[in-house]
Structure 1
Amino acid sequence: MTPLNHSLHIAVPTAFDHAERLDTKRTIAHILQLQKQGIKSVLVCGSTGEQHSLTLTEKKQLLHDLAQETSWAADFEVLFGLAGIVFHETLALAEAISKNPRIDGVVLGFPPYLCLTQKEAVLYAQGLIHTCEKPVILYNNPRRTGFDLSAESILTLIADPRVIGLKEAGRKERVPQLKTKTAADFRFYAGGEADLAEKVALGFNGLSSMAGNLCRKEIQVIWQGLLKGDATISTSNEWQNMEQAAAGDPTNTISYLPWLKQQITIDGQPFGFCRQPLGLETIDRFGTGSIPPHLAHERQENQTNED
């Protein structure tokens, strides 16, 4: 039986202040808002792509502050994104996760742009699985990473009982075949709401949702309806609201993540910003050559020291 109780989790964005400094307080405040509205599980530092802009120190700070928060419900689950371009740093993050009692599992992604071979990908994943000592959901996302984890590699990795799921954002058509070779309770997560009804029909039994950041009640109704085989759910008002939340900016002028953050408020205040170039609307956002003020100051100090 999978050690994770909830098949639906919300992939939450990461808050940054106007100077692009990590804001763990607002990130956690948003998660607590989701908890109050019935959400039982979230994915932090993953799926939105922002994890690759965070330093190892920032990721550890986020882990620390999640563990320090005392308002968690007893059945609330926190998953943490585990991926990186520098392997030894990603191993260090995995070790930090292994020591954090607040983290219930990880979504193990692969580094972007590098286009790993299948052997490299398997060894990378095995190293992290052995180090993090948490339930693992593999994340295959060829559009973001530039390579597609093969069925053979997937089966090699899921032979480890700590691997309890696969978030498949690649070829959804191969899930029925993979299901014949996995345990009955193995989870196949849909990455986002696109083609969701079709994916459930193919055998997907988990959902990693972005739209749920906005339509919290609706996504729960929709997910339960799909799992129960409710054929009317795709014509419901909840479904329409979900599709609007998943579509993003109706004017197509900004990308999804900046738009999403604009829709989220915490106690009536904005959620936070993105790190550039996400959300960049002018060539000189900060008035300092588009460099955040605290970094511009550091650069000026470094230049002075060099002189």
Structure 2
Amino acid sequence: MDFGRLITAMVTPFDAEGKIDWETTGRLIDYLIGEQQTDSIVVCGTTGESPTLDDEEKIALYKFAVERAAGRVPVIAGTGSNNTAHSIHLTKEAEAAGADGVLLVSPYYNKPSQEGLYQHFRAIAESTKLPVMLYNVPGRTGVNLNVDTTLRLAEIPNIVATKDCAPTEQLTAIAAGAPAHFKVYSGDDSQTLPALAVGAYGIVSVTSHIIGREMKQMINAYVEGRTAEAARLHQQLSPIFKGLFNCPHPVTNPVPVKYALNHLGIPVGGVRLPLVPLTEAEAAFVRNLLDNRE
């Protein structure tokens, strides 16, 4: 399964009561595939507010996204947690729902050893026929899935990719040592082009909700050898990459991107506690960022 080079980690639209807005979810999927040219979508990832979605909601989202995408792009289901048995349960549900792959975040809070990480991911991978993408995000989980453990996991046939938010040095080492079937994705929008330059295959993106088409142009320019054009596009897009995470100080994803989508006329609603909306100053920063794009 080739998930493509531009994967969007999709927000979960909520209505005024904080429940999943299914009509808007369908429109958002169509918009990401059509207008923003995403190659795949992730549902129930961090950007989808997975910590505050219950199992019933997650399984419903898996099914809905598969049905709405209707084969136009692959659907990757976020099924990871810090409980291996629970992750296996959700992975089986995603497979039954028709998902094309699963995204497994490193276990958070309980801070397992590297051997614990290996055994966790291996157990989930062995429970399913689906392709597995690892997800290393030390800033949220408190543990780094290191190079050696990632490469060890890459030898498991259905572990086919990693989304890694570690520094470029780690992406470089993984790309250099990985088997041919294993693809490296950056999890940091601002590092899309640098990551490609050191051997990554693509990006699992948040800002592709807003500038996916332009990101696709940048990726294609680099892959096709038009490096000066890719650099120019990166420079042009850099304020959006940075601004949607720093408004102008760090703000937790997906609060800014949800505000941005609402501002652009895609009514995805608010966020669930413990996340809170942008302050008026932060909102003004995002509006200015979007309204003054080149």
Secondary structure, in 3 states, of the residue corresponding to 1:195?
helix
Tell me: CA distance 1:5–1:138, structure 2 relative to 1, closer, same or farther (3 Å). closer
Q: State the 1:75 CA deviation.
A: 4.0
1:115 correspondence with 2:114: no
Match of 2:91 in 1: 94
In the alignment, the residues of structure 1 paired with residue 264 and residue 165 of structure 2 have an alpha-carbon distance, to the nearest angstrom, of 34
Query: What letter matches 2:102 in structure 1?
Result: V
Tell me: CA distance 1:256–1:59, structure 2 relative to 1, closer, same or farther (3 Å). closer
Secondary structure, in 3 states, of the residue corresponding to 2:13?
coil
In the alignment, the residues of structure 2 paired with residue 266 and residue 67 of structure 1 have an alpha-carbon distance, to the nearest angstrom, of 27
Query: What letter matches 1:82 in structure 2?
Result: T
Match of 1:260 in 2: 257
1:52 correspondence with 2:48: no
Match of 1:157 in 2: 153
Query: What letter matches 1:118 in structure 2?
Result: Q
1:85 correspondence with 2:86: no
Query: What letter matches 2:39 in structure 1?
Result: K
1:23-71 Cα deviation digits (max 9, x unpaired): 34322321111112232311111142611211111111112222443x6
Cα contact 1:7–1:206 (8 A) shared by 2: yes
Match of 2:217 in 1: 221
In the alignment, the residues of structure 2 paired with residue 111 and residue 100 of structure 1 have an alpha-carbon distance, to the nearest angstrom, of 24
Match of 2:191 in 1: 195
For structure 1, which segment, 20-29 or 247-256, has the greater mean C-alpha deviation from structure 2 after superposition? 247-256
Secondary structure, in 3 states, of the residue corresponding to 1:194?
helix
Counterparts of residues 122-161 of structure 1 (less than 5 Å): 122-161=118-157
Tell me: CA distance 1:239–1:66, structure 2 relative to 1, closer, same or farther (3 Å). same
Cα contact 1:97–1:132 (8 A) shared by 2: no
Q: State the 1:96 CA deviation.
A: 0.5
1:219-241 Cα deviation digits (max 9, x unpaired): 11011112233232355357424
Cα contact 2:154–2:182 (8 A) shared by 1: no
Tell me: CA distance 1:66–1:49, structure 2 relative to 1, closer, same or farther (3 Å). closer
Query: What letter matches 1:32 in structure 2?
Result: D
- TM (norm. structure 2) is 0.84
In the alignment, the residues of structure 2 paired with residue 12 and residue 25 of structure 1 have an alpha-carbon distance, to the nearest angstrom, of 15
Match of 1:274 in 2: 271
Tell me: CA distance 1:171–1:123, structure 2 relative to 1, closer, same or farther (3 Å). same
In the alignment, the residues of structure 2 paired with residue 56 and residue 126 of structure 1 have an alpha-carbon distance, to the nearest angstrom, of 22
Cα contact 1:211–1:246 (8 A) shared by 2: no
Gaps of 5+ in 2: 280-294
1:198-234 Cα deviation digits (max 9, x unpaired): 2222111121111110012111101111223323235
Match of 2:166 in 1: 170
Match of 1:42 in 2: 41
In the alignment, the residues of structure 1 paired with residue 125 and residue 189 of structure 2 have an alpha-carbon distance, to the nearest angstrom, of 27
For structure 1, which segment, 21-30 or 124-133, has the greater mean C-alpha deviation from structure 2 after superposition? 21-30
Q: State the 1:108 CA deviation.
A: 1.3
1:123-146 Cα deviation digits (max 9, x unpaired): 211121122321111111111111
In the alignment, the residues of structure 1 paired with residue 264 and residue 191 of structure 2 have an alpha-carbon distance, to the nearest angstrom, of 33
Match of 2:283 in 1: none
Query: What letter matches 1:160 in structure 2?
Result: I
Match of 2:60 in 1: 61
Match of 1:11 in 2: 9
In the alignment, the residues of structure 2 paired with residue 231 and residue 123 of structure 1 have an alpha-carbon distance, to the nearest angstrom, of 40
In the alignment, the residues of structure 2 paired with residue 251 and residue 245 of structure 1 have an alpha-carbon distance, to the nearest angstrom, of 12
Larger radius of gyration: 1
**Residue 30 of structure 1 is aligned with which of 28, 31, 54?**
28
- TM (norm. structure 1) is 0.81
Gaps of 5+ in 1: 283-307
Cα contact 1:210–1:246 (8 A) shared by 2: no
Counterparts of residues 236-251 of structure 1 (less than 5 Å): 236=232, 239-241=235-237, 243-248=239-244, 250-251=247-248
In the alignment, the residues of structure 2 paired with residue 122 and residue 235 of structure 1 have an alpha-carbon distance, to the nearest angstrom, of 37
Secondary structure, in 3 states, of the residue corresponding to 1:275?
coil
Query: What letter matches 1:91 in structure 2?
Result: I
